[in-house]
Structure 1
Amino acid sequence: MISADDLRFFLEVARTGKLVAAARGLGVDHTTVGRRISHLERATASRLFVRSTGGWTLTEAGQRLAIHAEAVESSLLAAAEELGSEPGRLSGTVRIATPDGFGAFVLSPGLGGLRRKHPDLAIEIVTATRLNLLATKEFDVGISLAEPTIRGVSATALAAYPLGLYAAPQYLETNATIAAVDDLQDHSVIGYVDSLLDIPDLRFLDTALPGVRPAIQTNNITGQWMATVAGLGVAVLPLFIGESDRRLVRILADTVHLRRKYWLAVPRELQRLARTKAVQNALFDLAASHPYLEPIR
């Protein structure tokens, strides 16, 4: 007989890939987790994980079981949410994992409508600019710069966003005129730290300024924005940052045109939750109303 509680242990190991990490998340010791997995394997008469020093990975049987385990988890979560909240009122916490630019410049200032509609709903925003931001599935709703291909996560295109070249007036006044892209070879360019950049769509400079090596590199868009405002050089910035800051001037607007896309990701077991749906709807509304985002639905 398969135990729903054993399935909870199974899913935690499947998501973390590590026995110790799963034990930490469950608040038990690793021997308990191992014992629960062994019990489940006996109950299913199947080997569910391949154990190795690098971690635990699902076997084919484990992948099939994971689909049903997530369905059970989804039903239990939905039941707990429905019975634990007042009719018509949403409560609990929704964690949103997002790239730092979207989180700081779009999401955080755009939460007003959601907060007014659901004042009892707590929102956690976790930001990073790495492809593995969503890999551990430690989120309820995720925003990604590339289409997620993580098992058990459903993805939908959220919005496209245009980018342009920006500089501070004081930088432009004290440096050579920029009349064409080739002129930037002699200018200080600001970009991402190439060795830390694991998202191909963020390689803006390779597209807009081929052959130009950044003089200043940071691992997030906020650092690039602040360096540009300080007059340290020229940067590729989303229009939702550059056009909203009067301290910056867009340059080569007729020449440099870039467009990238945000994706909305939700673990399948959380899709039925009313609070998760509310956040998704709020994000689509935000994309539709924002002056520098292009909704995709």
Structure 2
Amino acid sequence: MISADDVRFFLEVARTGKLVAAARGLGVDHTTVGRRISHLERSTATRLFVRSPGGWQLTEAGERLAVHAEAVESSLRAAAEELGSEPGRLSGKVRIATPDGFGAFVLSPGLGTLRESHPGLAIEIVTATRLNLLATKEFDVGISLAKPTIRGVETTELASYPLGLYAAPRYLESSANITSIDDLQGHSVIGYVDSLLDIPALRFLDTSLPGFQPAIQTNNITGQWMATVAGLGVAVLPLFVGEADDRIVRILPDEVQIRRKYWLAVPRELQRLARTRAVQNALVELAASHPYLDSFLVGS
């Protein structure tokens, strides 16, 4: 007979891939976690994890059990949410993990409708520009620049967005004319820190200016935007950043037209929660109404 408590420990190890990390999340000693997993494996007469120095990976049997375990967890969470909230009123916390550009320039200023509809929800926005932003599944709803491939997460295309070259008028006035992409070789270009950039979709300069080394590098879009506003050079910025700021202008709009995509991701065990669905719908509606996003979805 499978113990529901053992399954709770099983899911935490499956999600973290580390015994110590799972123990930390559960608030117990790592030996307790190991003992629970061993007990579950004896109960099922099946090896559920492959142990290695690099972490614990689910076996094929473990993958099958995880699907059922997450379904049970989802049902219990939905029941607890329904019983613990006032009728028609959502409460609780929802963590949204997102790239910094979307989080700072689209999501944060676009939360008004969600807040008005569900004032009892506490929203956490966690931003970063790293491919592993969603890897630990420590989020309720995620936005990603690449399709997430982690286990137990349902993904859909949210929206595409255009980018272009921008500079401050004072920089352009004091620098050589830019009439083609080749002219950028003689200019101060602002970009990402190459050694910290693990998202291929953000490697704009690799295709436009192969081998070119930016004069100013920062690991987030906000830093690039502010450096551009300060007149320090030319940067590739999303139109939802550049077109909203009259201190900078777009250059070479016909020659430099870049488009990227955002993905929407939700852990499978959280999909039935009303608060998660409310945030999903708000994100879909935000993408559909935004002037510089082309939505793939419609609100549900």
TM-score normalized with structure 2 length: 0.98
3-state SS, counterpart of residue 214 of structure 1: coil
CA contact (8 A) 1:4 1:72 kept: no
Separation of aligned partners in 2, 1:207 and 1:281 = 35
In structure 1, the partner of 2:77 is 77
In structure 2, the partner of 1:181 is 181
3-state SS, counterpart of residue 147 of structure 1: coil
Query: Partner letter of residue 128 of structure 1?
Result: A
In structure 1, the partner of 2:61 is 61
Query: Partner letter of residue 137 of structure 1?
Result: K
Separation of aligned partners in 1, 2:56 and 2:78 = 29
Separation of aligned partners in 2, 1:243 and 1:192 = 20
Residues 209 and 18 of structure 1, relative CA distance in 2, 3 Å threshold:
same
In structure 1, the partner of 2:46 is 46
In structure 2, the partner of 1:122 is 122
CA RMSD of aligned residues (A): 0.8
> What are structure 1's unaligned runs of at least 5 residues?
none
Separation of aligned partners in 2, 1:160 and 1:209 = 23
3-state SS, counterpart of residue 38 of structure 2: helix
Query: Partner letter of residue 275 of structure 1?
Result: R
1:254 Cα deviation from its structure 2 partner: 1.3
Say yes or no: does 1:277 pair with 2:277: yes
In structure 2, the partner of 1:203 is 203
Separation of aligned partners in 1, 2:272 and 2:262 = 22
Separation of aligned partners in 2, 1:269 and 1:143 = 17
In structure 2, the partner of 1:252 is 252
Separation of aligned partners in 1, 2:187 and 2:220 = 21
Query: Partner letter of residue 95 of structure 1?
Result: R
Separation of aligned partners in 1, 2:280 and 2:191 = 31
Say yes or no: does 1:6 pair with 2:23: no
> 1:71-128 CA distances to partner (integer Å, 9 max, x unpaired)?
1111111110111111100000000000000000000000000000000011000000
> 1:148-181 CA distances to partner (integer Å, 9 max, x unpaired)?
1111001000010000000011110110010111
CA contact (8 A) 1:154 1:267 kept: yes
> 1:185-215 CA distances to partner (integer Å, 9 max, x unpaired)?
1001011111111111111112333343211
In structure 2, the partner of 1:25 is 25
CA contact (8 A) 1:184 1:212 kept: no
In structure 2, the partner of 1:266 is 266
CA contact (8 A) 1:204 1:236 kept: yes
Indicate the larger mover: 117-126 or 209-218.
Answer: 209-218
1:50 Cα deviation from its structure 2 partner: 1.1
> 1:219-263 CA distances to partner (integer Å, 9 max, x unpaired)?
111111111111110000000000001110100011110000000
Query: Partner letter of residue 19 of structure 1?
Result: L
3-state SS, counterpart of residue 38 of structure 1: helix
Percent identity over the alignment is 85
TM-score normalized with structure 1 length: 0.99
Query: Partner letter of residue 154 of structure 1?
Result: E
CA contact (8 A) 1:208 1:258 kept: no
Query: Partner letter of residue 97 of structure 1?
Result: A
In structure 1, the partner of 2:150 is 150
Separation of aligned partners in 1, 2:84 and 2:129 = 35
In structure 2, the partner of 1:103 is 103
1:5 Cα deviation from its structure 2 partner: 1.3
Query: Partner letter of residue 207 of structure 2?
Result: T
> What are structure 2's unaligned runs of at least 5 residues?
none
Query: Partner letter of residue 245 of structure 2?
Result: D
Query: Partner letter of residue 207 of structure 1?
Result: T
> 1:17-55 CA distances to partner (integer Å, 9 max, x unpaired)?
111110000011111111111111111111111112211
Separation of aligned partners in 2, 1:249 and 1:218 = 20
